[in-house]
Structure 1
Amino acid sequence: MTPAYIAFEKEHRIAAGELSDVARAVKQLLDQRKDAAILVFNGRTSALVDIDFRGSVDDVLARLPKLAPRSDEEPAAPVAPRGPGRPKLGVVAREITLLPRHWDWLAQQRGGASVAIRKLVDEARRASGDKDRTRSAQEAAYRFMTTMGGNRPHYEDAIRALFAHDRRHFATLIADWPADIRDHVIALAHSDQAD
């Protein structure tokens, strides 16, 4: 299972876990060594996380980006009891474009267009869940490899093996990479199997 966030200094993993824990560890290292070059990644997507490390540890923690819950997590329960009316479920109104025949079909569905669309989306997510998890795992591994392994031996062949689902060849190609980078790439590439 991949950590929520992970930080690397060059080829060494220096922290992993929740963003506040990673930021605290990175700040402590930066206070000891001002010249340290550190990258913090979202552990699931491999997106780089921009953190302002100026000031004290408390200053850094106070400025951490406010993160939305993962899309597969349930919305948090309301903190205070609500009065009458519809509960706030994190519903976000957005615009979609459909043909008239689609709107006609939706209008005939029990519960209306919103309920019908939510059901269709949930059904599609269930039907394509394995493919979506595999694609997400490959994309996360690819992003991390591009940032941390783009100049390493066999990088291009490893990318081809990753997207060809050739796990044995993939592992062989990155076997000589630094251990922390190699281990995280493998964890990302295989994260579709962890669910």
Structure 2
Amino acid sequence: MKGVRIMSEKKRANALLQECYNEYRIKLFNYCLSRLDGSREAADDCVQETFIVFYNKLLDGEQFENPRAFLYRTADNFVKRQKQKAASELRHQVPLESAADIGICDEEYCERLDQIDYSECANILINLLTDEEKNIYNLRYSQKVSVEEISERLGISRPAASMRLMRLRNKIKDMVYSFDIEKKGG
């Protein structure tokens, strides 16, 4: 009987997620977009992360009297984190031209950085993806296809397409991080 209860909870969670996603996705996106100075990608990330947290809470059996309030509060927290992250990155950036001047790297290393073919590095990483991941990557980032259209082409729901994109982005970030560590010899 426990398996039946888990399945019914998952169906309830899926139904509530779909209902809230359809009702609040665009409103949350516009809210995040206005708070993130018009960065569509950052706003889309915040909305996806918000619904992932919401869905995980639903799967854990949490009940929401006011799902709208939870979604906006969660989105607001992601917006704040995004702004903190951007501010932190900006504080730690050093222009490549001045890196050698202030002793961060020697001149030879800076010249090698200038010669790196980043598109070649990207191609190497993309070739490590599965065929399905390559297809999704190509649709979203090369062809600039909307998440809605990706879901239609793949025959899946929009939340499922968003989840796959989020997982793909995280996988690529992990690969880039690993690639960077290997190049540094650490």
Q: TM-score range by the shorter chain?
A: under 0.3
TM-score, normalization by structure 1: 0.27
Structure with the bigger RCO (C-alpha within 8 Å, sep 6+) is 1
Structure having the higher helix fraction is 2
- Bigger Rg over Cα: 1
Structure having the higher strand fraction is 1
